[in-house]
Chain A
Amino acid sequence: MAQVLDIRLEGSLEERQALDRRMYVGLFILFGILAVFLGFTRLPTAIGKFAVVDQASTSLNQTTFGQVINPESLRSGFAWVAHGINLWDANAIGMFFAILLGGAALNTVAFAPKSKIGSWLGKTGVAGAAIGGGIGVPLFMCSACSAPVSLGFFRGGAALETSLGVILGSSLFHPVSMLAIFLLMPIQMGLARIAFGLTLLVVVVPLVSRIARRNPASCPVPGVGGDPLNLLGLASESPTQLSWGRALADGGKGWVNNSLEFALKLGPPMLIAGFAVGIVFDLLPPQALSGTGLAASWVAIIIAAAIGTVVQVPGMFEIPLTLGLLALGLDIGPATAMLLATPSFGIISFAVTRKDLGWRIPASMLLATFVLASAAGLIVGAL
């Protein structure tokens, strides 16, 4: 986000005077929510997770760090209900703040001068993906929770690359996760995670976006999801004539409206997709891979990559999950595939982004996650 702010402040005096005060209100709301989220919940939680993340038993028969319902306490065939509830509980804080942050991001981007947006958040190709990745890192969110924030940027007018980059930067370059991986796992697994993240971010995202734009009829267009100016009937007003009081009222209204719209559209699919993840965990528990006799084979790598691609876990949970698999005897190849695929795009991020981006783009990200995680597992396993 720093780039956005810097660009606004580095313009000429005339440009600065022409800036919409509502954008500054949007930025204030955006950074205010982010500060509350990081300061009061996310960073203390990440530090708390760090204390237990090295204990493989943390993940045994679990899909989250903490449980509301123990899946083993339910009748056979109903464990997915517990997994779904536990996943909703684990994502509840992040998702709630993500809805508010998404609304604030949309406000900020949509109220900002289009020329500036065009020069930064509208960048396509590798640069756009890198900008999105840079915005995503300080969010400290999993790929499910960062999706609404990403859509906030997209609906505000940011390029497809930037919007997808926000999800990948947040989920794959989580600083505490990266530190834990390099401290607790073999170096090749950590390097594979970096290579996987960078390949998805700077190769796959620009490629998928470029292919999507070749077919304008089906390519999603940024900036049409909910322009706060149109939403509030303010399009005819000159930004320079706006008082700070009016800007505050308009910015606040736009943020609330955007957040409610995000909640309406993204809350239900996220809940349903969470239970779908629970069903996958119930039918194909990752720990079962260790007892199949396939622990070191390429089949195990493919299965691990497939499970990791469709499921989603709370931020950092891929670490105890992978350590648990290694402790149970799984080879480093399939464990690497699981470590890489699990935090990347999954069912929930697919469900959340599908309405705005269509099914092809998130499906391509799922496919790329599976292929690259499989390839990384095979390479690391062969070393």
Chain B
Amino acid sequence: MRNPKLRTFIGAIVLTVMGLSASYSLNLFGVRDSLPPPAVREQAQN
């Protein structure tokens, strides 16, 4: 892939995907439903 514009375009797509992943991990959208570590779950249940 030698075309600089194509490289920039695909790089922008990859970085956007990574940014969205990071936003999800940070729960910026309020949609994250991750499982906390078992120890934390146990504490919450107790």
Enumerate chain A interface residues (CB-CB to B < 8 A).
Answer: 41, 52, 55, 57-60, 62, 65-68, 70, 88-90, 92-93, 95-97, 99, 257, 259-264, 267-268, 320
CB distance from A319 to the nearest CB of B (A): 12
Scan B12-46; emit 1 where CB is below 8 A from any A CB, else 0.
10110111011011100000001111111010000
Count, chain B residues at interface, CB 8 A? 23
Residues of A within 8 A of B34 (CB): 66-68, 89
Is there contact, CB below 8 Å, between B25 and A90? yes
Main secondary structure, interface of B, reads helix
Is there contact, CB below 8 Å, between A65 and B22? no
A89 and B24 contact, Cβ closer than 8 Å, known pairs A58-B37, A58-B38, A62-B37: yes
25 residue pairs A–B, Cβ–Cβ below 8 Å: A52-B37, A55-B37, A57-B37, A57-B39, A58-B39, A58-B40, A59-B37, A60-B38, A66-B34, A66-B37, A67-B34, A67-B35, A68-B34, A68-B35, A89-B34, A93-B26, A96-B21, A257-B8, A263-B11, A263-B18, A264-B10, A264-B11, A264-B14, A267-B14, A267-B17
Looking at the complex, which one of B18, B24, B26, B35 makes contact with A41 (CB distance below 8 Å)? B26
Is there contact, CB below 8 Å, between B35 and A260? no
Q: In chain A, what residue has the closest Cβ to B6?
A: A264
Residues of A within 8 A of B10 (CB): 264
Looking at the complex, which one of A66, A96, A260, A267 makes contact with B36 (CB distance below 8 Å)? A66
Is there contact, CB below 8 Å, between A92 and B38? no
